[in-house]
Structure 1
Amino acid sequence: MANAIYQREIINQSGSKMLSLCRSQLEKAKVAFREHDSDLAEEVINTENRVNALDLKIEEDCEKFLALYNPVAIDLRFIMAVRKINFDLERIADHAYSISKYVVDLDEPIEPHLFEKLQFEKMYTTISTMFDHITAAYEEKDVKAARKVFKKDKILDQINRESFSIIEEEIRKDSKVIRQSLILFSVVKKLERVGDLMKNIAEEVIFYIDAEVLKHKRKK
């Protein structure tokens, strides 16, 4: 029993490490993209190997825990939640990687006014706040913190909905920004997907703590 508790804590710590690592990746990708910093972008790209290695470790540790200890009730919910959270975090890191690739591949910085028009900073500030809520929810078993994520995600959805018409208007004004505008539009889409993944993580934390399944329920 003691060994099971120890292994469970190892998995819990790995989950916290994955959360911190993926948040760092996304924040560095933001700075690299905003400032057209190719060195920082390369760092994000190279760190992807660490993310993948930790992803595999968590998955393997969860599988071993299921096989060796036959968990029930809250322990089973914990392992199920960690596996799904780990999957979503790895996808968030993939988006950070893709954003950083734009920096490496693009031979010119994005015009500053395009960032302002598409509320780029607001999207990242919102995502950062969502990470704060998720971290508190995961580490402190705080369901109220997890539920705050859903409201924040609506901000990202709204910015994403408005982005196409804004991009269309900017291209009409100046055809020279077509490539920059389309890349920024793609990044906005990726950030909106990050919000969806954060929402998924919040649902899993609530499931683990309260045994409440939220998937599909909020759509009704």
Structure 2
Amino acid sequence: MEHLNIGKHISGQFNAELEEIRNNVMAMGGLVEQQLTDALDALARSNKAEAEQIIERDRRVNSMEVYIDEECTRIIAKRQPAASDLRLVLAISKAVTELERIGDSAERIARLVTQLHNEPSRNRTMMTSIDSMGRHAQRMLHNVLDAFARMDVEAAMQIHEEDVRLDEAYEGVVRQLMTFMMEDPRSIPNILEVLWAVRALERVGDRCKNICEYIIYYVKGKDVRHLDRSQVQDIVR
């Protein structure tokens, strides 16, 4: 009986550690989502001061990634989890890497705001043209964090498919920016900076898609990376 109680105690501690690390991931996700929201707001208002704050806060995102990764490593070494518990720790470890990179994308947009803050209104027009795409990426991030909190594979699959539409929006914005460059060659240096920011937004979609794949991996026990869409759908069904 005493041995059974010890086993329950250890199991309870392990579950508490897993819950804490999941809470830390959601806290990091909330910060990254706020970073992206604030970056898009700074872009829309050409707010240099807000953009500088976003750049400064990126250090906190990086610190959270390191801390959560260290906790994942400690749990694996100490608890030697198996089956779904191991998949959960691995999914968390991979997801925080994606979140940190989304944070980098938000920082990239913030740096664009600081670089073009004092430029003519034409540049602000170019930045406004990517706002719709940015809001699309923002919704994807919000939804994938919600799906990760619930480990909802059906929601993950919907977000996974949404990346196609973000890619289409990216292609449209790139074509528009190319037209601007042809009309005014003097704008090329600034437009190249905008292109980097647009690419960063497109990558937010890719990162969200990757997190969806980690959700599917945890729930279904299948690694769906590099599979085509129909194969992923077959696994989720």
TM-score of the aligned structures, taking structure 2 as reference length: 0.85
Q: Alpha-carbon deviations, 1:34-80, whole Å to 9, x = none?
A: 22111111111111121111111101111110011110011000000
Which residue identity is paired with 1:19?
Answer: G
- Structure 1 window deviating more from structure 2 (44-53 vs 77-86): it is 44-53
Give the whole-Å Cα distance in 1 for the aligned partners of 2:180 and 2:113: 21
The equivalent position to 1:30 in structure 2, one of 33, 36, 40, is: 40
How much identity, in percent, do the aligned residues show?
29
Counterpart check, 1:114 vs 2:114: no
Q: Alpha-carbon deviations, 1:123-162, whole Å to 9, x = none?
A: 1221122123212211122111111112221112112223
Root-mean-square deviation (CA, aligned residues, Å) is: 1.8
Counterpart check, 1:101 vs 2:111: yes
Structure 2 gaps of 5+ residues are: 1-10, 232-237
Give the whole-Å Cα distance in 1 for the aligned partners of 2:28 and 2:83: 24
- Aligned equivalent of 2:82: 72
Counterpart check, 1:129 vs 2:143: no
Which residue identity is paired with 2:126?
Answer: L
The equivalent position to 2:68 in structure 1, one of 55, 58, 73, is: 58
- Structure 1 window deviating more from structure 2 (147-156 vs 199-208): it is 147-156
- Aligned equivalent of 1:170: 180
- Structure 1 window deviating more from structure 2 (49-58 vs 77-86): it is 49-58
Q: Please report how far the alpha carbon of residue 12 of structure 1 lies from its aligned counterpart in structure 2 after TM superposition.
A: 0.5
The equivalent position to 2:227 in structure 1, one of 201, 217, 220, is: 217
- Aligned equivalent of 2:194: 184
- Aligned equivalent of 1:154: 164
TM-score of the aligned structures, taking structure 1 as reference length: 0.91
- Aligned equivalent of 1:83: 93
Q: Secondary structure at the match of 1:217?
A: coil
Structure 1 gaps of 5+ residues are: none
Q: Please report how far the alpha carbon of residue 110 of structure 1 lies from its aligned counterpart in structure 2 after TM superposition.
A: 5.8
Q: Secondary structure at the match of 2:228?
A: helix
Flag as ranges the 4+ runs of structure 1 deviating above 4 A: none
